[in-house]
Amino acid sequence: MSKTPSPELPSIDRLLAIMAQLRDPEGGCPWDVKQNFATIAPYTIEEAYEVADAIEQNDMAALKDELGDLLLQVVFHARMAEEAGHFVFADVAAAIGEKMISRHPHVFDDHRADTAEDVKVTWEEQKAQERAAKAAANGGAPVSALDGVTAALPALLRAEKLQKRAARVRFDWPGATPVFEKIEEEIAEIKEAMDQGHDPDRLEDEVGDLLFVVVNLARHLKIDPESALRRTNAKFERRFRAMESKLADTGRRAEDQSLDALEDLWQAVKREERGG
């Protein structure tokens, strides 16, 4: 049996040693040894969402745990990269350190940025320069305003990022009002698609168009659509569970009730929640 890494080690060094031991083909964990970048990626995404949930709940104890789980994901990926000869954890830390310095010239150089908005402009300018440099290094491939918006993002978040990139080159509505008109147009197109035979592909396209425009509305109202939907999900779950609890208190089940009865109960839960 391998010896447990010493608790006397600096905490990050001990974590790196633990991961190396877990990945050791001779005496490591069979599950950890079996993993690769593709199989671990879903866990990385899941852990990031659990960090967001702990923040949403304002649970600092959970946040500490979830940040540790997310850090483990970084260490796991870095260990697999080291085994393949690509890079090591120290390279990851060094690269992000240099990136933070280059993207904050108002802190580490003499560039001026007096407001948070100024900082965002500088940040985006630095990112654009980095994308252009990367394109040049890859043979001078054309640079698009949309470059760097990864396809792996959740669809709602990616829609917002694509729209923000397009807005940088002034492909955008001037405000929220015309977005409402576009929402009405997209709803009409969904109804038209339904009237014309429920073609699944067209309906999916039209519903996707509506969602994309709603994200645009949220952006113009300066609302994070991902956060807004998470909040609504939590609200729906809270109210639905309260409704189920009321039914259970009287020996009833939701599946045995009429839609009208459930709607009445739903409205009662909403009134109670609002103090009415």
CATH of the domain at 45: 1.10.287.1080
User: What's the pLDDT at 4?
Assistant: 86
Q: What are the CA-CA distances from residue 214 to residues 169, 204, 242 (Å)?
A: 21, 15, 29
Based on C-alpha coordinates, what's the Rg of the chain?
A: 25
94 is a domain residue: yes
173 is a domain residue: no
**SS3 assignment, position 154:** coil
In degrees rounded to 5, what are phi and psi of residue 176? -75, -30
User: What's the pLDDT at 1?
Assistant: 57
Choose among 204, 271, 205: nearest CA to 243.
271
Out of 75, 102, 129, pick the residue that ends a domain: 102
259 is a domain residue: yes
pLDDT > 70: percent of the chain: 96
pLDDT at 56 over 70: yes
User: What's the pLDDT at 237?
Assistant: 94
119 is a domain residue: no
254 is a domain residue: yes
Domain extent for 251: 227-273
User: What's the pLDDT at 33?
Assistant: 97
d(C-alpha 269, C-alpha 273), whole Å = 6
What is the arithmetic mean of pLDDT over 200-218? 95
Q: What is the pLDDT of residues 163-181, one digit of tens each?
A: 998 998 899 999 999 999 9
Please count the residues of the chain.
Answer: 276
163 is a domain residue: no
207 is a domain residue: no
In degrees rounded to 5, what are phi and psi of residue 91? -65, -40
**SS3 assignment, position 43:** helix
Band of pLDDT at residue 77, cut at 50, 70 and 90: very high
Q: Which two tokens mark 17? A: 């040693």
Look at phi and psi of residue 76 and say left if phi exceeds 0, alpha if psi is from -120 to 50, else beta: alpha
User: What's the pLDDT at 2?
Assistant: 65
d(C-alpha 128, C-alpha 145), whole Å = 8
**SS3 assignment, position 253:** coil
Which stretch of 2-16, 103-117, 131-145, 262-276 has the lowest confidence by average pLDDT? 131-145
Out of 52, 85, 102, pick the residue that ends a domain: 102
Out of 67, 102, 137, pick the residue that ends a domain: 102
Residue holding tokens 């991902």? 226
Amino acid identity, residue 78? A
- Number of structural domains found in the chain: 2
90 is a domain residue: yes
Identify the H or E element spanning 126. Answer: helix 116-137
pLDDT at 231 over 80: yes
- Please work out, in degrees rounded to the nearest 5, the angle formed at the alpha carbon of residue 135 by the alpha carbons of 129 and 136: 90
Q: For the stretch 183-194, what's the b/e string if a residue is b when 16 or more beta carbons lie within 10 angstroms of its beta carbon? A: beebeebbeebe
d(C-alpha 36, C-alpha 83), whole Å = 11
Is the separation of the CB atoms in 191 and 247 below 8 Å?
A: no
What is the arithmetic mean of pLDDT over 254-267? 94
Q: What is the mean pLDDT of the chain?
A: 90
